[in-house]
Amino acid sequence: MQLSVKGKQIDVGEALRTHVESQLKDIVGKYFSDGLDAHVTISREAHLYRADIAVHAARGILLQSNASASEPYPAFDMAAGRIANRLRRYKNKIRAHHKESVRTEESYLAKSVVLHGDGHEEEAADAHPVVVAEMTTPIETLSVSEAVMRLDLGDLPALMFRSRSHGGLNMIYRRPDGNIGWIDPANNGAGAPAHHSKS
């Protein structure tokens, strides 16, 4: 696994880098033979240290987490512990994913754009928002339970995917009440978008 450990307003020493590498290999290695790559950023925010972790564990599996503490080691350990807990929760689905990934399924590329959110509500209706970044994002074919697993493992706010059952576009998202919302337009016979809530 290729590992990148960076510091923002903090010097990441060799001891912390070694600790990060050892912990991530132990956590990810239980479920994936060899993760693709991992990026860890330790930053200082006032009197706290924050650890942000992103691990591409396998094709389509992104693990993300973050935590803050008064010292860098506990911040990283808490963030890594959250990833470990999620992996334990989904261990059976992860094993099934490995079996399914032998089958090559078509994924679609979509344009993904990040817009500047400056909060100016009074802009003219025809004004174009400022584009911060443009990229392509794969839209994979998944079951709803696989999509929920990826949403949780990646600590994502939302995920668009193609339904394995009917091939149409679906969206799941994290609701403010902690439940997962599921939008499945193809599930409504009248052709109007249907909205489901799944706990």
pLDDT in tens, 70-82: 999 999 999 999 9
**Which CATH code is given to the segment(s) 2-99?**
3.30.160.100
pLDDT in tens, 24-80: 999 988 888 767 789 999 999 889 999 999 998 887 788 999 999 999 999 999 999
DSSP-based three-state secondary structure for 54: strand
Q: Note the pTM of the prediction, 2 decimals.
A: 0.72
The CA distance from 43 to 82, in Å, is 18
Residue 121 has pLDDT above 80, yes or no: no
Instruction: Give the residue extent of every domain in the chain.
Output: 2-99, 106-198
Choosing among 3.30.505.50, 3.30.365.10, 3.40.50.300, 1.20.1250.20, the CATH entry for 106-198 is 3.30.505.50
Residue 183 has pLDDT above 80, yes or no: yes
Round to the nearest angstrom and report the end-to-end CA distance of the chain: 34
Phi and psi dihedrals of 49, rounded to 5? -110, 140
Pairing status of strand 169-174 against strand 48-58: unpaired
The CA distance from 75 to 63, in Å, is 17
| Chain mean pLDDT for the chain | 82
The CA distance from 145 to 167, in Å, is 15
Asked if residues 69 and 48 have their Cβ atoms less than 8 Å apart, the reply is: yes
